[in-house]
Amino acid sequence: MERDGPIATITFNDPNTLNALTRDFLTEYWWILKGLSKDDSVNVVILTGTGKAFMAGADIAYMSAMSPHEAAVYAKETVELYRMMEEMEKVFIAAVNGYALGGGCELAMACDLRVASTRAKFGLPEVGLGIFPAGGGTQRLPHLVGDTWAKELIFTGSSIDAKRAETIGLVNSVVEPEELADAAHALALRVLRNSQTAVALAKRSVDGGHQMTLDAAVERDQGLFGLCFGTPDQKEGMGAFLEKRPAVFQHQIPAG
């Protein structure tokens, strides 16, 4: 992990396994997220990989001997890891440099935003192994691209290139490989020029609404919107707008 002010960049660096989702990875990444959750100086986290892969999926040799109970626990631990990212009031950006398959695709989907290299490939090939994507893929993919595309990708196990992923709404943008790091950083800066108080509350609203009916989500939004008006950033943002000057935000995120 490298730091650049409020931006942290985490690079998956095991090219011999194509950055596989191993037990060691799960443990190390959990500790990294735990540390980030307590670090208020970081507002945006960029994830990327080395070599040919962002993350090529799970360690199949490790998974192949699992009992049903062990497999359920493994899926639970993976889902909890991705949920930590969603529940953290920081913006996660996946800079997908290559293969994002299986658990790697699920990890990218757990990010808030996704920028892909033209070399990137996305897919959930689990059904070809006699299993299905249980790291949240069957739930997150329909939210991102709709049931029709999600079912085709999940049921066929097919992979798609970056351009197709952009067309169906799986990624925000596609750039040349040499431009990927700069594109992810530029996107992070576009997020950071705003009130991180407001961004965090907006993330809380979007992600929390997935679990609710429309009426309940809209009602919850009203409360979160009200919280904005008890923060210094709302006073500063609106004051700066009326005074025609740049805003200087404090980025204090209210609890609750």
Residue-wise pLDDT tens digits, 142-154: 999 999 999 999 9
Q: What pLDDT, on the 0 to 100 scale, is given for residue 210?
A: 78
Residues 54, 100 within the same domain = yes
Residues taking part in catalysis = 106, 126
Distances in whole angstroms, Cα of residue 109 to Cα of each of 62, 116, 252: 23, 12, 27
The CA-based angle 63-18-35, given to 5 degrees, is: 80
Does 255 have pLDDT greater than 70?
no
Task: Give the chain's domain count.
Answer: 2
Task: Note whether residue 251 is domain-resident.
Answer: no
pLDDT tier, 221 (very low <50, low <70, confident <90, very high otherwise)? confident
Mean pLDDT for 175-179 is 98
Q: What is the CATH number of the domain that holds 74?
A: 3.90.226.10
Average of per-residue pLDDT across 109-127:
97
Whole-number percent of the chain with pLDDT over 90: 77
User: Do 103 and 44 share a structural domain?
Assistant: yes
- pLDDT band of residue 227 (cuts 50, 70, 90) is confident
CATH, residue 229: 1.10.12.10
Q: What is the rounded radius of gyration, in angstroms, for the C-alpha atoms of the chain?
A: 19
Query: What pLDDT sits at residue 90?
Result: 96
Distance CA 106, CA 116 (A): 15
Highest mean pLDDT among 12-16, 103-107, 249-253: 103-107
> In the block, which residue shows the tokens 């919850």?
220
Average of per-residue pLDDT across 111-122? 98
Q: How confident is the model at residue 250 (pLDDT cuts 50, 70, 90)?
A: confident
What's the whole-number mean pLDDT along residues 27-35?
Answer: 94
Q: Between residues 93 and 21, which one has the greater pLDDT?
A: 93
Question: With 70 as the cut, is the pLDDT of residue 246 above it?
Answer: yes
Whether residues 107 and 231 fall in one domain: no
For residue 142, tell me if it sits in a domain: yes
* Residue 238 confidence (pLDDT): 92
Enter the pTM of the model: 0.93
Token readout for 183 is: 């594109």
CA angle at 129 for the pair 148 and 120, rounded to the nearest 5°: 60
Residue 112 and residue 202 in one domain: no
Give the pLDDT band of residue 28 (cuts 50, 70, 90): very high
Mapped to the 3 state alphabet, what secondary structure does the chain carry? CEEECCEEEEEECCHHHCCCECHHHHHHHHHHHHHHHCCCCCCEEEEEECCCEEECCECHHHHCCCCHHHHHHHHHHHHHHHHHHHHCCCEEEEEECCEEECHHHHHHHHCCEEEEECCCEEECCHHHHCCCCCCCHHHHHHHHHCHHHHHHHHHHCCEEEHHHHHHHCCCCEEECHHHHHHHHHHHHHHHHCCCHHHHHHHHHHHHHHCCCCHHHHHHHHHHHHHHHCCCHHHHHHHHHHHHCCCCCCCCCCCCC
| Same domain flag for 118 and 25 | yes
Per the structure, the complete domain to which residue 119 belongs is given by 2-192
